[in-house]
Structure 1
Amino acid sequence: MDRDLSASVKQANNRKRIWQIGIAVALVLAAVFGFRTLITPSISRSEIRTAVVERGPVQATLSASGVVVPEHELVITSPIQARIEQVVRNNGEQVQPGDQVLLLDRSFTQLAYDKLKDEQQLNQHKNVQMRLQLEKKLNTLESQLAIKRMNVKSLQARLADEQYLLKIGGGTQEQVKQAELNLKIAQQELAQLERDILNERELLKADKQELSYTLAMNGRSLEELERKMQQAEVRATRPGVVTWVKNEVGSSVNAGEVIARLADLSSFRVQATISDTYAEQLHLGGEATVRVNNTDLKGTVAAIEPTVTNGTVTFFIALLEEAHKLLRPNLRVDVNLTTATKPSTLRVKNGDYFKNTSGNQVYVLREDELVRVPVQIGVSNPDFIELEDGVQAGDEVVISDMREHEHLKRMKVN
């Protein structure tokens, strides 16, 4: 017959049942958490880069590319059409005022100079010859004028005599009329001769003036050719360094062609270009920052070229530290033009995330999880991004590229 179990056996069975239930519950919980772990996306901490949101100033900037150029550069052009005879200074050599850089062949210009000089001497001879001829002609006319004046006086006396004879009955009216006619003719001839002399004097004056102009122009041309022949000994007019020289001995150069460049390497400026889309935001005196090997140099927009070339606008930046030790000719630099300034706002370091993100959102690191948070992105520059809302100071935000995960709202950080 059946007997009741003892209390100890019952207690053992109860403990066994509790253990079985506990193990079952543990297995269920482990399965739940394991499944959750399998379905929750995760990312390695080493794959992301973060920055802490802080409060500070942010300047909105436009990015441009630039190159360091000497602040003062002398461009030397060929004064004449010639041939390069000798290269005296090569690239990189120091020069002082008066030092010769190039020597050009002056033979062709010398021929033109000698020809013009001969023409000048010929014109001077013509000037003397013309003056003597005109003076001779004037002297002849002056003699004729004196004779005409005496003839008029004689005819005047003759008329007076005929009038007197007519009065006393010793002459006729016809004789008086003939004397009057002869006097009028002589007076007309005298007046014509006086006008001819006056015209000859004016012509002499005009011819002298014309010839003097010709002599003056030829003289200036001679001086110009003489100066060009002196300039054919291409010399530096200020201290500096030869940055480029046309060193092809024997090659021909045209008048006005660049044959050398001299630069003063004690000070520099930046020549920058930007898309013409932003041309309206460029203005003289605008603040600019030039980044040279992770060093920022402050400056201002000093000049803007008026023309657009291949869709870009060229402008020049005057640096506050134009003699900084990092500056080198033709060094490429990054240029940031300031367009607006927020003196105190929430900001975070700029990174690849903000260059590639497709919307106003960021990932905030909260304990061991990344949470996507909507934000309003404001002004920016290469260093900082303004976050107007959605985060607060002290939040740790992902700034590395997250394009592969931007569809996820949460991620586990391992």
Structure 2
Amino acid sequence: MDRELSLSTKQARKQKRLWQVSIALVVVAAAVFGFRSLLTPSLRRADLRTAIVEKGPVEATLTASGLVVPEHELAVTSPIQARIEQVVHTTGDKVQPGDQILLLDKAFTQLAYEKLKDEEQLNQHKRVQLRLQLQKKLNTLNSELAIKRMNVKSLQAQLEDEQYLLKIGGGTLERVKQAELTLKIAQQQLAEIEQDMITERQLLKADEQELGFTMAIQSRSIEELERKMQQAEVRASRPGVVTWVKNEIGSTVNAGDVIARLADLSSYKVQATMSDAFAEQLRAGGPVTVRINNTDLPGTIATVDPTVSNGTVTFYVALNENNNKLLRPSLRVDVFVTTATKPNTLRVKNGPYFSGNVNDKVFVVRGDELVRVPARAGVSNTDFVELENGVQPGDEVVISDMKDYLNTPKVSLKE
């Protein structure tokens, strides 16, 4: 026969069931929470880089590599073919106008100079000889001219005598004609001598002119050699610093070879290079920013080299502050060429997130999670990226690399 359970037994069973249900609920809750954790990834807040959305200007820029060079640099060339005899100032030395930098051996040029001086002396003697020769010829012609004139007068008298005899019947017509012919021949010879004298004077004048031209050329050559020999003591023509000098004593240099460079280190410019793919966007007068140790120096494109070398184009930047204390010769700098400007737009600091394909979305911090929202990136530079929509000023946006979460709508944050 069945017995009714005692009250204590019933309470024990009821309590056991409550414990079973509670444990089951805990297990179910843990399973749900664990599954949710598997569906929603999480990141440590300390592992993220974020930036606050703000309003401000954004400039689209092209990046180039730059080298600081003196704004004014003078190349000193060798005036003659010579051997380097002495180096007076070396690289880094400051010089003033007139200070000697190099001394060249000018023995070869000295020989050429003395040869020209000898030739000039010979030409001066030649001019004297020409005049003496002309005077001798003129003296001979003057003597012949005097004889011919006297002969013509004598023949004229003979002709008059024959004409008179023919008139009184004491002569013949043939003798008169003979006298006339003889007189004409003498007169022609007299005219030839007079013309010879004119021609000799003209020849002397032409020879003297030619000799004068030769002597003038020699004189200029002598002056040029004198100047080159003075320049062989290579001296500075302006104050500056020796940035390079050919210091190989005993080596030979040719006329026109660069043997030293002087620079005025009171002002600088930047020589920049970038890929020729962006050459069409480079314009003289375009704005440029030069960055040195996190300091930005504004400037403009002064000139663009029209030639392309090894796939790169070279241009020069004129700095607004070309004597800034940060500028140093041969200093490597970053150059940013501005191609477009947004004066007042939503912007956020640039970071690794924007370096790849961001799929026009960004992650915004919402409490303890990251929410992916649409936000198209616009113009950008190394400092800022424009966000054209999807965010508001004050939003905190992730700028670190999120390539593993680009298709994840939400990411949990944990401390």
TM over 0.5: yes
Paired position in structure 1 for 2:354: 354
Matches within 5 A, 1:14-413: 20-357=20-357, 359-413=359-413
1:354-397: per-residue Cα shift (whole Å, max 9, x none)?
22336433222222222333332222211111222233322222
Deviation at 1:192, TM superposition (A): 2.5
1:255-289: per-residue Cα shift (whole Å, max 9, x none)?
22221111111111111112222222222211111
Deviation at 1:126, TM superposition (A): 1.3
Give the aligned residue type for 1:198.
I
Flag the 1:145–1:406 CA change in 2: closer, same or farther, 3 A: farther
Question: 1:143, 1:350 → 2: CA distance?
Answer: 108
Deviation at 1:295, TM superposition (A): 0.4
Give the aligned residue type for 1:70.
P
SS in 1 for 2:330: coil
Flag the 1:2–1:68 CA change in 2: closer, same or farther, 3 A: same
Q: Is the 8 A contact 1:357 1:402 kept in 2?
A: no
SS in 2 for 1:300: strand
TM-score of the aligned structures, taking structure 1 as reference length: 0.92
SS in 2 for 1:234: strand
Deviation at 1:154, TM superposition (A): 3.6
Flag the 1:235–1:17 CA change in 2: closer, same or farther, 3 A: same
- Structure 1 stretch displaced more, 159-168 or 246-255: 159-168
Question: 2:360, 2:147 → 1: CA distance?
Answer: 114
Deviation at 1:311, TM superposition (A): 2.0
Question: 1:411, 1:202 → 2: CA distance?
Answer: 109
Flag the 1:120–1:16 CA change in 2: closer, same or farther, 3 A: same
Deviation at 1:7, TM superposition (A): 10
Q: Is the 8 A contact 1:68 1:328 kept in 2?
A: yes
Question: 2:121, 2:146 → 1: CA distance?
Answer: 38
TM-score of the aligned structures, taking structure 2 as reference length: 0.91
Deviation at 1:55, TM superposition (A): 1.5
Deviation at 1:10, TM superposition (A): 8.2
- Structure 1 stretch displaced more, 289-298 or 122-131: 122-131
1:4-50: per-residue Cα shift (whole Å, max 9, x none)?
89999989977775665454334312210111113322222222211
Q: Is the 8 A contact 1:365 1:396 kept in 2?
A: yes
Deviation at 1:3, TM superposition (A): 8.7
Question: 1:151, 1:90 → 2: CA distance?
Answer: 86
Question: 2:163, 2:82 → 1: CA distance?
Answer: 86
Give the aligned residue type for 2:360.
N
1:110-143: per-residue Cα shift (whole Å, max 9, x none)?
1121122111111211121122212322332233
5+ residue gaps, structure 2:
none
SS in 2 for 1:217: helix
Aligned residues: 414
